[in-house]
Structure 1
Amino acid sequence: MTTRTTAEAWLAGRLPDDWFTGPVEVRRDRDELIIVGSLPAPELADDADETERGLAAAARAKTFREETRERRIEIARELEHLSGRKVSWAVRVGEHETLFTHLAAPVMTRLRQPERRVLDTLVDAGVARSRADALAWCVKLVGENSDSWLGELREAMARVDEVRKKGPGA
C-alpha cells in the first residue's frame, strides 16, 4: 500500500462522499501519510478582509475536525495497517490549510561546530526554544525558499524510480 494511486484509490472508496469537495491529496514520507481534503469556503460578504476569511476558515476546519473525529480515527487505523505508516489529516479551506495532530519524527544528525553555532544563535536570540526547534525552523525556511528546486528534484527522483522499475529483475 505504498504507491501513490493505491492510497488515493483506497481513500476514494473509503471516505464519505460528503466530506470533501474533491479527491484528497496524500502527502508521504517514510514515516507518515497526510491526507489533505478541501472543504467548501464559508460564505462571507464580498468586502470581507483576509483576517475575516482566515477566522472563517479556521472555524470551518475546527467544525470538521470535531464532527468527523471518530470516523477519521477509524479510517486512519485501517490505512495505517495497510500502509505501515502513521496517518494524519489536514483540511484546506480556500487558501488556508489546517494540519491536525501529526507526527514529529526524531531525526539524528551530526553537526560540526559552525552549524551548531548557527542553531545556538537562534536559541540564544529566542527564535527557537532548543537546537531541535532551531533545526526544524532552518529546514522549514530552506523548504519554503527552495520550493521550485525541491519540486524539480522530486520529479527527477520519480522518473528515476520509474526507469528502475522497468529494469532487469523488476
Structure 2
Amino acid sequence: MITTEQREKVRGWFAGRLPDELFEELVEITVDREEITVIGRIPGPRLASDASDAEREAAVQGRIQEFRERTRESRVAVAREAEHRFRRKVSWGVECEAERALFTHVAVPTMTRLRQPERQVLDTLIAGGVARSRSDALAWCVRLVQRHTDDWLSELSTSLEHVQRVRAQGPDLAGDGSPAEGDTMG
C-alpha cells in the first residue's frame, strides 16, 4: 500500500519537474507498486460555436494525438528520471474538454486461484462475447466492481492509510521483532 506521504512526494516532484508549458493543469497522479500515471489538462481545440458533436469529438481526438506526438520527447525524458528515482514505470494521459485519454500504460499480470463456480462466471462472460479469455473476463469483473463500488473502495483506502499512520507511531521494535530495549510487555 502506498502512503499519502509517498503520493505527495511523487506529486510534488512531478509538479516541480514538469515543464510549465506541458499541461494547463496537473489533474491527477496515481501511484501503485508498479506504475505512476500522470494526467494533465490540455487546452481544447478552437471551434465555431455551432460545431456539431461529431466535429467537436474529432477535433478533441486530433488535439490529443497532436499533444502526444509533440510532447513525446520531453515526456520520455521526465519519465526516465522518475523511473530511476521512484523505481516505477511512468504512464501518461490527458484530459481535453470532457475526454480523458491514457497513452501507453502498464498491464501487470496477476495470478489467482479460482474454484469451479468462479471459473464458470468467467467462462460465461467468454461464451457471451463479453470477454475473449479468462484473463480478459477477470479484468472486466474488476472494472465492474470498481465502477459500482468506487466510494466504498475510496473509504477502504483511506482507512488503510490511517492504519499505516497508527502503526508508524507504535513502539519501536528491535530488529528481531521483540520490544526495543527498556520496553516491557508487563
> What is the TM-score when the length of structure 2 is the normalising length?
0.84
Q: For residue 145 of structure 1, report the CA deviation from its aligned partner.
A: 0.9
1:76 counterpart SS class: helix
Determine the structure 1 residue equivalent to 2:13.
Answer: 10
Q: Number of residue pairs matched? A: 170
Residue 26 of structure 2 contacts residue 39 of structure 2 at CA under 8 Å; is this kept in 1? no
Determine the structure 1 residue equivalent to 2:165.
Answer: 162
1:109 to 97, 108, 112: 112
1:144 equivalenced with 2:147 (yes/no):
yes
Looking at structure 2, the residues matched to 133 and 54 of structure 1 have their Cα atoms a distance apart, in angstroms, of 28
1:23 to 18, 26, 31: 26
1:104 aligned partner, one-letter code: A
2:92 to 81, 89, 103: 89
> What is the TM-score when the length of structure 1 is the normalising length?
0.91
1:57 equivalenced with 2:60 (yes/no):
yes
Larger radius of gyration: 2
CA deviations on 1:10-33 (whole Å, 9 max, x unpaired) are 112211101111234210111111
Q: Which runs of 5+ in 2 are unaligned?
A: 174-186
Q: Which runs of 5+ in 1 are unaligned?
A: none
1:97 counterpart SS class: strand
2:74 aligned partner, one-letter code: R
Looking at structure 2, the residues matched to 162 and 132 of structure 1 have their Cα atoms a distance apart, in angstroms, of 35
